[in-house]
Amino acid sequence: MALIVQKYGGSSVGDAGRIRNVARRIARTKDEGNQVVVVVSAMGDTTDDLVKLAYQISEHPDRRELDVLLSTGEVVSSTLLTMALHSMGYPAISLTGAQAGIHTDTAYSRARILKVDAKRVAGELEKGNIVIVAGFQGITEQMDVTTLGRGGSDTTAVALAASLGGGECQIFTDVEGVYTADPRLVPGALKLAEIGYEEMLELASYGARVMHSRAVELGELFNIPILVASSLTDSPGTLIHGEVAMEVRNKVRSVAHDFDVAKITIVGVPDHPGIAASIFIPLAEAGISVDTIVQNASIDHITDLTFTVAKSQLEEAMAVIAPIAGSIGARDYVSTAHLGKVSIIGTGMQNTPGFAARMFRALSEAGVNIQLITTSDIRITCIIDEDKVTGAVRALHRAFELEVK
């Protein structure tokens, strides 16, 4: 009997009708002779509503308390989905993150999974139950509830698949899979039948909101094939796995974008060892994700340091930087909020020259000014003005012939 771990996002379980729809999909998977574990997110806007409630009470809600509060959303949807399966005659049981053995560190609101003790889940599967696990949450050694932060339920699903000894992980969401670009921006974008872990990681990290990179990383680490598909249709979706057909490797696979970029430049920084650490360690400790970092070549041991953060964290980042800029003897520090980024991604770029040149030419012809550039082995990213992002994505999708299968 094969093991399948399915995950359903919040919009897939937004109301009673949708919950019943999801229950029917789960039942079908069970009928096909599989053992089924399902990870479920909170219904619709539940999490946002709970956050609002917390901020009605307190301007700075305690993170431990906020995690306990938010974890209730997934508990609610897991019990309702279980009841829906019961009413269709299927044996099922809901488990909280704690009951499912999702053990995490104590980093409230962005906890990391330390280990999964899947004894209870395995025992319920043995009894013939479909096991419905509340996603996005875990428990510390002290038995305190944590939440896993963005992409948490996807991560729960892959972690459970890994600890139950393999099987396939199916992530059902409101998109039909991974595309050559966001179809809302590029009408001719095509769905990919498969994609490698690394490409998906870059895509996830550089703006594709289909899946969070944490879950993909975990999939790669434990070699768990991850299917991303729609919970509303039966279209086949995209399989993220390790053995992607060789013939598709030698090209750009997808164009990713992100409208949510802000830039901070610290001007006139004395360039000596330890300067970067004195800036970026406090930012990390404040929970601010720094993305691209660029340091200009220094003249007379003075340099400029530029980095990007999410717009929502700009204000907080500037507050962290203010005292540091003074103490390291920087001349000034400035920020820009209205930026975005576009990336081309594909393992083919590793072996073939000329991708960067084609990218820059396409952007130039589209009238897009490039502010910063960063690259990895399989990705080239340009930071550009926010209002140029849509045009840039379309230009790149054309330039790399992604409309053509």
Q: Which stretch binds its own copies (CB under 8 A): 79-87, 219-227, 295-303, 332-340?
A: 79-87
Taking CB under 8 A as the criterion, which residues in 34-53 touch its own copies? 50, 53
Q: Which is nearer to its own copies, 56 or 312 (CB)?
A: 56
Min dist. Cβ of residue 180 to its own copies (A): 39
Min dist. Cβ of residue 199 to its own copies (A): 39
- The token duo for 40 is 């479920």
Taking CB under 8 A as the criterion, which residues in 293-352 touch its own copies? none
Taking CB under 8 A as the criterion, which residues in 108-167 touch its own copies? 120, 143-145
Query: DSSP secondary-structure letter at 246?
Result: G
Q: Which is nearer to its own copies, 28 or 119 (CB)?
A: 119
Please give the Cα distance from 8 to 136 (Å, whole number): 12
* Residue 366 makes contact with its own copies by CB under 8 A: no
CB-based burial label for 334 (10 Å; 0-12, 13-18, 19+) = exposed
Please give the Cα distance from 48 to 282 (Å, whole number): 28
Q: In what order do the strands lie in the sheet with 370-376?
A: 290-295, 302-309, 254-270, 332-345, 379-385, 370-376
* Residue 63 makes contact with its own copies by CB under 8 A: no
Given 3, 22, 38, 75, the residue binding its own copies (CB under 8 A): 75
Min dist. Cβ of residue 75 to its own copies (A): 5
Please give the Cα distance from 159 to 5 (Å, whole number): 10
CA 149 to chain centre: 10
The residue written with tokens 């094939």 in the block is 225
- Annotate 53-87 with b (16+ C-beta within 10 A) or e (fewer): ebeeeeeebebeebbbbbbbbbbbbbbbbbebbee
CA 299 to chain centre: 39
> What does residue 96 show for φ and ψ, rounded to 5 degrees?
-75, 170
Given 6, 12, 82, 347, the residue binding its own copies (CB under 8 A): 82
Given 57, 277, 299, 404, the residue binding its own copies (CB under 8 A): 57
Min dist. Cβ of residue 13 to its own copies (A): 11
Given 1, 59, 277, 354, the residue binding its own copies (CB under 8 A): 59
Min dist. Cβ of residue 316 to its own copies (A): 19
Q: Which stretch binds its own copies (CB under 8 A): 95-103, 202-210, 261-269, 354-362?
A: 95-103
Please give the Cα distance from 105 to 198 (Å, whole number): 26
Interior CA angle at 125 toward 77 and 159, to 5°?
Answer: 65
Given 22, 27, 69, 111, the residue binding its own copies (CB under 8 A): 69
> What does residue 194 show for φ and ψ, rounded to 5 degrees?
-150, 160
Q: Which is nearer to its own copies, 55 or 377 (CB)?
A: 55
Min dist. Cβ of residue 117 to its own copies (A): 12
Q: Which is nearer to its own copies, 119 or 361 (CB)?
A: 119
Q: Which residues bind its own copies (CB under 8 A)?
A: 16, 19-20, 50, 53-54, 56-62, 64-66, 68-69, 71-72, 75-76, 78-80, 82-84, 86-87, 93-94, 96, 98-99, 120, 143-145
